[in-house]
């Protein structure tokens, strides 16, 4: 494990950015946001960014390809630029876990080569949480906020940043920073983990359980009368899906520019009334059905198809952003029975 004094963070970031594009959370008027590092950029103190780190691998919009039509001939133009290596610093444990959930979707056959390309070029420098929020419940899904995964796992221990490389990509990057960093025995990190775990255990949602949900529970929950009350006030605004690190629905549209056709992929939301609308009609006609789809997917369908893995990481973003204060915790408490009373 290596460490560097906090007052030398700018030198560390500068050294990383010499070879790779570096992104890190910075404060903006709209809250913390991942931005490209520039000399003097200050790392945000915020626990989490408003939008998650999934944007790096699954951007909100992207131009997949262009077409040129000439009579009966169609030329397909590959618009992809070769992705260069990049480093994301400050990814929290919940967001790191979300990559595993997205990987199971985009890296399953047929592999999404756009996503795969970005995943292969990205190096994750995660950052352990020290002061989790009241809205955090990553522990419900077995995530330890004091000890995230990642290529390099970082811990802020008072006056130092400690870094532990966990993968070949991480080791290669950390060894390049040798002249700036020094070896540490990791005792400060262990101490800090202990304190953070105590804080995590005292969070209001620390005892929230997902045990009643999971693989094979479709029949148990699909027809539950509680969906009516839960979904009644939902505006169908889609905010919860757009801030969520694990939501992965998208739409593909062709746009005629007059000089050719551009094919775009854009995030979509199962909460929208025109989601997956086909010429034959709309498969989910009511907001109740759309609302149920979102939560059944996270708590039942995804685990059913992915060996029991839930597709929520307890980041708490939907708890703080929904305009009507509806969220997955309320759904779990209402439907989850005794475990969550």
Angle at 154 between CA 152 and CA 122, to 5 degrees: 35
Which residue, 111 or 235, has its beta carbon nearer to ligand SF4?
235
Q: Does 142 bind ligand SF4 (CB under 6 A)?
A: no
Q: For the chain, count helices (H), then strands (E).
A: 12, 12
Which residue, 16 or 329, has its beta carbon nearer to ligand SF4?
329
Q: Residue 14's CB: how many other CB atoms inside 10 A?
A: 16
* 38 dihedral zone (left: phi>0; alpha: psi -120 to 50; beta): beta
From residue 142, alpha-carbon distances to 137, 191, 197 in Å are 9, 21, 13
Residue whose token pair is 């029975």: 337
Q: Least distance (Å) from ligand SF4 to the CB of residue 28?
A: 20
For the purposes of burial, counting CB atoms within 10 Å of the CB of 210, is it exposed (0-12), middle (13-18) or buried (19 or more)? buried
Q: Residue 258's CB: how many other CB atoms inside 10 A?
A: 5
Cβ neighbours of residue 117 closer than 8 Å, sequence gap 6 or more: 80, 83
Q: Least distance (Å) from ligand SF4 to the CB of residue 208?
A: 11
Q: Least distance (Å) from ligand SF4 to the CB of residue 194?
A: 26
Selected from 91, 154, 243, 332, the binder of ligand SF4 by CB under 6 A is 243
Structure tokens at 234: 């939902």
Q: Least distance (Å) from ligand SF4 to the CB of residue 236?
A: 5
Selected from 328, 331, 332, 335, the binder of ligand SF4 by CB under 6 A is 328
Residues in 304-323 at the binding interface with ligand SF4, rule: CB under 6 A: 312-318, 322-323
Residue count, binding to ligand SF4 (CB under 6 A): 25
Instruction: Give 262's strand partners.
Output: 66, 255
Selected from 240, 249, 300, 335, the binder of ligand SF4 by CB under 6 A is 240
Q: CA dihedral defined by 89, 116, 293, 272, rounded to 10 degrees?
A: 80
Cβ neighbours of residue 22 closer than 8 Å, sequence gap 6 or more: 13, 16, 36, 37, 86, 87, 89
Report the alpha-carbon distance of residue 302 to residue 97 in Å, rounded: 15
Selected from 122, 170, 238, 336, the binder of ligand SF4 by CB under 6 A is 238
Residue whose token pair is 């990481």: 313
Contact (Cβ atoms closer than 8 angstroms) between residue 169 and residue 189: no
Q: Least distance (Å) from ligand SF4 to the CB of residue 6?
A: 29
Q: Least distance (Å) from ligand SF4 to the CB of residue 179?
A: 39
Q: Least distance (Å) from ligand SF4 to the CB of residue 274?
A: 14
Q: What are phi and psi of 328, to 5 degrees?
A: -65, -30
Selected from 90, 245, 303, 336, the binder of ligand SF4 by CB under 6 A is 245
Residues in 253-292 at the binding interface with ligand SF4, rule: CB under 6 A: 271
Selected from 244, 249, 300, 331, the binder of ligand SF4 by CB under 6 A is 244
Q: Residue 307's CB: how many other CB atoms inside 10 A?
A: 8
Which residue, 186 or 236, has its beta carbon nearer to ligand SF4?
236
Selected from 203, 234, 332, 335, the binder of ligand SF4 by CB under 6 A is 234
- Of 106-114, 149-157, 235-243, 332-340, the window that binds ligand SF4 (rule: CB under 6 A) is 235-243
Which residue, 161 or 329, has its beta carbon nearer to ligand SF4?
329
Q: Least distance (Å) from ligand SF4 to the CB of residue 104?
A: 15
Residues in 162-201 at the binding interface with ligand SF4, rule: CB under 6 A: none
- Of 79-87, 161-169, 184-192, 239-247, the window that binds ligand SF4 (rule: CB under 6 A) is 239-247
Q: Which residues lie near ligand SF4 (CB under 6 A)? A: 234-240, 243-246, 271, 298, 312-318, 322-324, 326, 328
């Amino acid at each position: 494990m290596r460490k560097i004094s906090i007052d030398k963070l700018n030198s560390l970031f500068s050294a990383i950015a010499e070879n790779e594009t570096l992104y890190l959370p910075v404060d903006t008027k709209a809250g913390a946001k991942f931005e490209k590092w520039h000399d003097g950029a200050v790392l945000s103190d915020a626990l989490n960014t408003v939008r998650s780190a999934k944007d790096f691998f699954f951007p909100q919009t992207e131009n997949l390809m262009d077409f040129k039509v000439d009579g009966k001939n169609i030329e397909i133009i590959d618009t992809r630029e070769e992705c260069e290596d990049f480093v994301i610093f400050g990814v929290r444990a919940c967001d790191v876990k979300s990559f595993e959930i997205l990987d199971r979707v985009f890296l399953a056959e047929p592999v999404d080569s756009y996503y795969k390309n970005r995943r292969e070029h990205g190096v994750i420098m995660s950052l352990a949480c020290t002061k989790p929020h009241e809205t955090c419940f990553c522990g419900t899904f077995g995530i330890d906020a004091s000890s995230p995964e990642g290529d390099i796992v970082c811990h802020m221990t008072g006056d130092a940043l400690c870094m532990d490389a966990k993968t070949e990509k991480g080791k290669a990057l950390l060894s390049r920073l040798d002249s700036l960093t020094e070896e540490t025995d990791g005792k400060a990190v262990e101490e800090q983990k202990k304190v953070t775990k105590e804080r995590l255990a005292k969070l209001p949602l620390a005892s929230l359980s997902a045990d009643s949900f999971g693989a094979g529970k479709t029949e148990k929950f699909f027809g539950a009368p509680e969906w009516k009350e839960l979904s009644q006030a939902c505006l169908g605004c889609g905010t919860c899906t757009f801030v969520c690190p694990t939501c992965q629905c998208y739409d593909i549209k062709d746009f005629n520019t007059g000089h050719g056709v551009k094919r775009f992929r854009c995030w979509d939301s199962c909460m929208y009334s025109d989601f997956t609308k086909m010429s034959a009609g709309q498969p989910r006609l009511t907001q109740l059905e759309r609302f149920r789809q979102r939560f059944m997917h996270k708590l039942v369908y995804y685990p059913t198809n992915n060996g029991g893995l839930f597709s929520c990481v307890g980041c708490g973003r939907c708890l703080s952003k929904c305009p009507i204060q509806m969220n997955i915790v309320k759904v779990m408490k209402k439907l989850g029975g005794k475990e969550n009373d």
